[in-house]
């Protein structure tokens, strides 16, 4: 059976699991771990992405992410590619570091958020890296310590997690600590998967007749909303590249027809860069399809998309103008 495509658009909560190729270690020392976390922190800020839980083990790691302004695939590509390059240089190796495809499960945050936080933060204990839930507080490579305020790190958006336990910070941390401890002896639900079986384990409102999807932890109305929303982002007739070109041309004060011509005009180059970024990175079009329309080679489209990302992220008015088609 062919592998299903990812469900991926801004605003979704994803449980991400990244494994080393052939189950090999992807962290050989603490400097490697610091490198990944440093990259992760920068990307979270740059892309307006929230992280609610994380845990680094030797051969894999878990993240609970919610991008608000970009796709998960774009976020992960930047995180993993950059880390792999540095890792290979440091350790004198070549070749792939990660399995071909990281795993991501779209999650119903209203139902599963806290269970996912607990599941991820208990991973080092269940893997035998730490011996007790008390010693988990001293394990530096897990977000549990961060939520307890025992580290300088600021990876997790604790303003979204801790208030779910109590309004006052001290009380919230106490209740969170008890919640984590209660999970040690509780039956472990399979929160590393989606679909019917995993979703039914923790949501009493679902039944066998609810709508499920193997890519989603959740069911019923949530799955229906996600799939309906995903259908707004197909590659095909529903995408109007011409409409995008018209809007961007209007923003830059250039004629739409000029976008199909070669030239070194600064505004024209900026407009083309934004179009390439939106078409390639947000809509999933290919350079061979976009290039001829903009008088670019596929390689030029890729370079322009990189420039366009910075322009797009910094352009508040531009984002407002394009909001209707994004």
Provide the pLDDT for residue 234. Answer: 38
Q: Domain 241-325 is of which CATH architecture?
A: Orthogonal Bundle (1.10)
Span 43-95, pLDDT tens digits: 999 998 999 999 999 999 999 999 988 899 999 999 999 999 999 999 999 99
Give 320-326 contacts, CB < 8 A, sequence gap 24+: 321/247, 321/250, 321/251, 322/244, 322/247, 322/248, 322/278, 325/240, 325/243, 325/244, 325/247, 326/278, 326/282
- Is the predicted pLDDT of residue 243 greater than 90, yes or no? no
Provide the pLDDT for residue 211. Answer: 83
pTM passes above 0.75:
no
Span 254-281, pLDDT tens digits: 998 889 888 778 999 999 999 999 988 8
Mean predicted confidence (pLDDT) in 147-175: 92
The alpha carbon of 239 is separated from its chain's Cα centroid by a whole number of angstroms, namely 23
d(CA 292, CA 4): 30
- Is the predicted pLDDT of residue 149 greater than 70, yes or no? yes
CATH 1.10.1750.10 in the chain: give the residue spans.
241-325
d(CA 159, CA 172): 11
Provide the pLDDT for residue 3. Answer: 62
The dihedrals phi and psi of 62, each to the nearest 5 degrees, come to -115, 140
Q: Spell out the residues 6+ positions from residue 194 whose beta carbon is closer than 8 angstroms to its own.
A: 105, 106, 212, 213, 214, 215, 216, 217, 218
Span 282-294, pLDDT tens digits: 877 778 778 888 9
Mean predicted confidence (pLDDT) in 224-243: 63
- Is the predicted pLDDT of residue 228 greater than 80, yes or no? no
What are 89's two structure tokens? 């240089």
Q: Which residue has the higher pLDDT, 205 or 155?
A: 155
Span 92-148, pLDDT tens digits: 999 999 987 899 999 999 999 999 999 999 999 999 999 999 999 999 999 999 999
Count, residues in the chain = 326
| CATH no. of 13-229 | 3.30.70.1290
- Report the percentage of the chain scoring pLDDT > 70: 96
- Is the predicted pLDDT of residue 239 greater than 60, yes or no? no
Provide the pLDDT for residue 285. Answer: 78
d(CA 21, CA 152): 31
CATH 3.30.70.1290 in the chain: give the residue spans.
13-229
């Amino acid at each position: 059976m062919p592998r299903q495509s990812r469900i991926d658009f801004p605003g979704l909560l994803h449980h991400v699991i990244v494994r080393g190729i052939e189950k090999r270690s992807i962290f050989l020392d603490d400097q490697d771990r610091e490198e990944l976390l440093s990259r992760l922190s920068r990307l979270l800020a740059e892309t307006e992405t929230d992280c609610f839980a994380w845990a680094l083990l030797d051969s894999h790691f878990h993240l609970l992410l919610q991008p608000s302004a970009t796709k998960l695939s774009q976020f992960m590509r930047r995180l993993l590619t950059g880390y792999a390059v540095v890792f290979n240089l440091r350790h004198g190796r070549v070749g792939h570091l990660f399995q071909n495809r990281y795993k991501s499960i779209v999650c119903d945050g209203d139902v599963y958020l806290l269970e996912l936080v607990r599941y991820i933060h208990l991973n080092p204990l269940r893997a035998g890296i730490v011996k007790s839930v008390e010693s988990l507080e001293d394990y530096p490579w897990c977000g549990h310590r961060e939520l307890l305020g025992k580290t300088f790190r600021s990876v997790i958006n604790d303003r979204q997690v801790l208030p779910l336990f109590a309004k006052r910070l001290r009380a919230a941390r106490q209740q969170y600590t008890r919640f984590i401890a209660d999970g040690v002896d509780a039956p472990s639900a399979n929160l590393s998967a989606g679909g019917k079986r995993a979703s039914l384990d923790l949501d009493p409102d679902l039944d066998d007749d609810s709508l499920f999807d193997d890519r989603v932890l959740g069911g019923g109305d949530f799955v229906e909303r996600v799939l309906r929303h995903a259908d707004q982002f197909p590659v095909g007739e529903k995408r109007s590249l011409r409409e995008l070109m018209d809007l961007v041309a209007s923003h830059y004060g250039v004629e739409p027809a000029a976008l199909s011509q070669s030239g070194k005009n600064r505004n024209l180059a900026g407009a083309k860069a934004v179009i390439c970024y939106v078409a390639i990175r947000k809509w999933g079009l290919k350079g061979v399809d976009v290039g001829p329309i903009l008088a670019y080679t596929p390689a030029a489209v890729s370079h322009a998309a990189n420039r366009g990302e910075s322009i797009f992220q910094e352009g508040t008015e531009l984002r407002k103008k394009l909001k209707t088609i994004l």
